[in-house]
């Protein structure tokens, strides 16, 4: 039996389930050997990093770390101010009914509180305590036809307006990141790489006709043995940018892209022995989802149909979206070890990293970092060319009417402009970052997927008999004689007046085959 009515195909990410947890993590941490002890802590900021997400039957495993960025007064006679990074690793499992391997999981992490407790005066060891809020949403791609117009004879009782992100395309791609990690002058050269940890972030994702452009940064944490007599162990951090265009059929300009990236394999090796430069390379797997906002009025209840087939959609509906622009003025970018700058050659935006996004009543608060690279000529006799990278911290407040705590949020950031200039031998950057926030709510909506009408038996075939009107004939007595109806005779004789039949007039009498004439 064929479905009656008009239907539209929806391609959506069906929400399988959600879960949230707040937990406390305590870890013993210590400053690296090159950092002096702490006399006074000035500030401690926590930033979560989700490094691995795995969907298992009925649960989602989340692994990562909270990076603690601290500034402190060093316990040395000069009492200089230092900056350092510590990490508190975490691993947590959230139960999500219906979750299965192969499904997608979107994780949001937020540091609610953090604390560093020194174990000794002027020490380098601490007890770190962080409170972390984790939220996970498990989805799967689903295609479903929904009723938008009922067939004739069926009364519509209720309709609902859906605002969803229609899935245009999904694909995967592998991106190669190649770069160089340079050892700063204050650290010894590398004799041997002992360990390498990497983190991947996507800073830009844009669509064009039938393609998606991705760019991001690979953050490498290298532990190495120094090329000195003591063979000391040191730590080095560097960033390797990457970018690639991926062919994706059906994609158009200005569509929304969601990318999940993870490092498959990475390596770093000295270019010489000993070396002040490491060749870094990594293969990054990117899972790409392209969506397009869609608004659809669907029929959710009818009367008068024989059979109505329904399904339940659990999807993210768009509550609202808006944008805000943040101006960043005169942010210093040149590291103290670099020579003074004479003139700017190139200012290059590297992309934006969103650190946290929180939904409160009618507002989305977003914290992030804008990456800027400045290439400049130094104030030296030969005007050597140097490059300096800066991460500009920002906070944006985006007004979205209807937003409430607990709602989902998707952030699309962009650097509008970045201009570097020389100021007293240093470099400062003026920049502007625009943040687009789309707030969503998970709703469950029943939809009609098929209406089947009662089958109508076809009318039996008829034969027309040409009958000459005799005295006393009427449509009524002719219907009785031939076993038919007055209505059938009238339908077979359009234009004939039943009240003015003439003797000898020929009229048509419909009869079933085999009936006696």
Q: What pLDDT band is residue 361 in, cutting at 50, 70 and 90?
A: very high
Q: Read off the pLDDT of residues 449-475 as tens digits, 9 standing for 90 and up.
A: 999 888 766 667 788 899 999 998 999
* One-character DSSP codes across 368-402: EEEEEEEEEEESSTT--EEEEEEEEEEEEEEE-TT
Q: Read off the pLDDT of residues 10-44 as tens digits, 9 standing for 90 and up.
A: 988 888 998 999 999 999 999 988 788 999 988 88
The pLDDT value recorded for residue 514 is: 63
Percent of the chain scored above 70 by pLDDT?
A: 97
pLDDT of residue 127 exceeding 70, the answer is yes
Q: Read off the pLDDT of residues 137-151 as tens digits, 9 standing for 90 and up.
A: 999 888 999 999 999
The pLDDT value recorded for residue 373 is: 85
pLDDT of residue 383 exceeding 60, the answer is yes
Question: Which tokens go with 28?
Answer: 């013993």
pLDDT of residue 89 exceeding 70, the answer is yes
The pLDDT value recorded for residue 335 is: 55
Residues across the chain:
517
Domains of the chain: 1-149 (no CATH), 164-297 (no CATH), 318-442 (no CATH), 463-511 (3.10.350.10)
pLDDT of residue 371 exceeding 80, the answer is yes
Strand-pair category, 385-399 with 190-208: unpaired
Query: Are the beta carbons of 238 and 280 closer than 8 angstroms?
Result: yes
Q: What is the C-alpha to C-alpha distance for residues 397 and 296, in angstroms, rounded to an integer? A: 30
The pLDDT value recorded for residue 197 is: 83
Closest to 445 measured CA to CA, from 259, 312, 335:
312
Give the distance, in angstroms, between the CA of residue 357 and the centroid of all CA atoms in the same chain: 13
The pLDDT value recorded for residue 47 is: 84
- Give Rg (Cα) of the chain: 36
The pLDDT value recorded for residue 516 is: 55
Q: Read off the pLDDT of residues 272-304 as tens digits, 9 standing for 90 and up.
A: 878 899 999 999 999 999 988 888 999 999 987
Q: Read off the pLDDT of residues 244-280 as tens digits, 9 standing for 90 and up.
A: 999 999 999 989 898 988 888 999 999 887 889 999 9
Q: What is the C-alpha to C-alpha distance for residues 18 and 24, in angstroms, rounded to an integer? A: 21
Torsion, Cα of 134, 140, 143, 145 (10° steps): -50
The pLDDT value recorded for residue 396 is: 95
The pLDDT value recorded for residue 467 is: 92
The pLDDT value recorded for residue 150 is: 92
The pLDDT value recorded for residue 463 is: 85
The pLDDT value recorded for residue 1 is: 64
pLDDT of residue 106 exceeding 90, the answer is no
Question: Which tokens go with 218?
Answer: 């690979």
Output the average pLDDT for the chain.
88
pLDDT of residue 339 exceeding 90, the answer is no
The pLDDT value recorded for residue 67 is: 87
The pLDDT value recorded for residue 515 is: 60
Q: Is 87 helix (H, G, I), strand (E, B) or coil?
A: strand
Q: What pLDDT band is residue 8 in, cutting at 50, 70 and 90?
A: very high
Q: What pLDDT band is residue 70 in, cutting at 50, 70 and 90?
A: confident
Q: Is 492 helix (H, G, I), strand (E, B) or coil?
A: helix
The pLDDT value recorded for residue 278 is: 93
What is the separation, in whole angstroms, between the first and last Cα of the chain? 39
Q: What pLDDT band is residue 156 in, cutting at 50, 70 and 90?
A: very high
Closest to 69 measured CA to CA, from 89, 88, 83:
83
Report, as an integer, the average pLDDT of 346-350. 87
The pLDDT value recorded for residue 258 is: 87
């Amino acid at each position: 039996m064929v479905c009656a009515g008009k239907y539209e195909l929806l391609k959506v990410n069906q929400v399988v389930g959600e879960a949230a947890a707040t937990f406390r993590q305590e870890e013993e941490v210590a400053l690296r050997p090159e950092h002096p002890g702490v006399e006074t802590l000035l500030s401690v900021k926590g930033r979560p990093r989700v490094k691995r997400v795995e969907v298992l039957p009925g649960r989602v495993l989340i692994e990562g770390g909270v990076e603690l960025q601290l500034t402190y007064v060093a316990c040395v006679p000069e009492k200089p101010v230092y900056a350092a990074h510590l990490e508190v690793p975490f691993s947590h499992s959230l139960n999500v009914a219906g979750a299965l391997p192969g499904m997608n999981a979107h994780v949001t992490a937020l540091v609610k509180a953090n604390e560093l407790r020194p174990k000794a005066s002027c020490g380098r060891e601490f007890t770190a305590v962080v409170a972390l809020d984790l939220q996970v949403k498990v989805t799967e791609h689903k295609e479903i036809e929904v009723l938008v117009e009922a067939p004739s004879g069926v009364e519509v009782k209720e309709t609902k307006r859906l605002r969803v992100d229609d899935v245009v395309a999904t694909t995967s791609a592998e991106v190669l990141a190649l770069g160089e990690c340079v050892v700063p002058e204050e650290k010894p050269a590398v004799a041997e790489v002992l360990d390498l940890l990497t983190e991947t972030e996507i800073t830009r994702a844009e669509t064009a006709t039938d393609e998606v452009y991705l760019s991001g940064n690979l953050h490498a944490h290298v532990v190495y043995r120094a090329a000195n007599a003591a063979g000391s162990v040191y730590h080095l951090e560097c960033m390797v940018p990457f970018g690639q265009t991926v062919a994706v059929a059906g994609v158009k300009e200005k569509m929304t892209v969601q990318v999940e990236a993870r490092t498959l394999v990475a390596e770093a090796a000295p270019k010489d022995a000993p070396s002040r430069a490491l060749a870094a390379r990594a293969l990054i797997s990117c899972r790409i989802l392209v969506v397009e906002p869609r608004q659809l009025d669907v029929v959710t209840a009818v009367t008068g149909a024989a059979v109505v087939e329904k399904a339940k959609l659990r999807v993210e509906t768009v509550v609202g979206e808006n944008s805000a622009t943040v101006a960043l003025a005169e942010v210093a970018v040149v590291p103290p070890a670099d020579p003074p700058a004479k003139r700017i050659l190139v200012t290059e935006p590297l992309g934006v990293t969103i650190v946290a996004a929180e939904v409160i009543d009618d507002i989305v608060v977003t914290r992030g970092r804008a990456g800027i690279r400045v290439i400049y000529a130094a104030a030296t006799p030969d005007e050597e060319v140097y490059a300096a990278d800066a991460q500009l911290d920002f906070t944006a407040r985006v007004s979205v009417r209807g937003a409430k705590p607990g709602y989902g949020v998707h952030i699309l950031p962009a650097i509008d402009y970045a201009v570097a200039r020389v100021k007293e031998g240093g470099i400062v950057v003026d920049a502007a970052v625009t943040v687009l926030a789309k707030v969503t709510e998970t709703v469950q909506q029943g939809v009609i997927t098929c209406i089947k009408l009662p089958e109508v038996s076809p009318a039996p075939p008829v034969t027309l008999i040409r009958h000459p009107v005799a005295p006393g004939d009427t449509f009524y007595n002719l219907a009785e004689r031939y076993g038919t109806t007055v209505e059938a005779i009238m339908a077979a004789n359009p234009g004939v007046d039943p009240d003015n039949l003439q003797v000898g007039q020929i009229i048509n009498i419909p009869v079933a085959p085999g009936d006696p004439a």
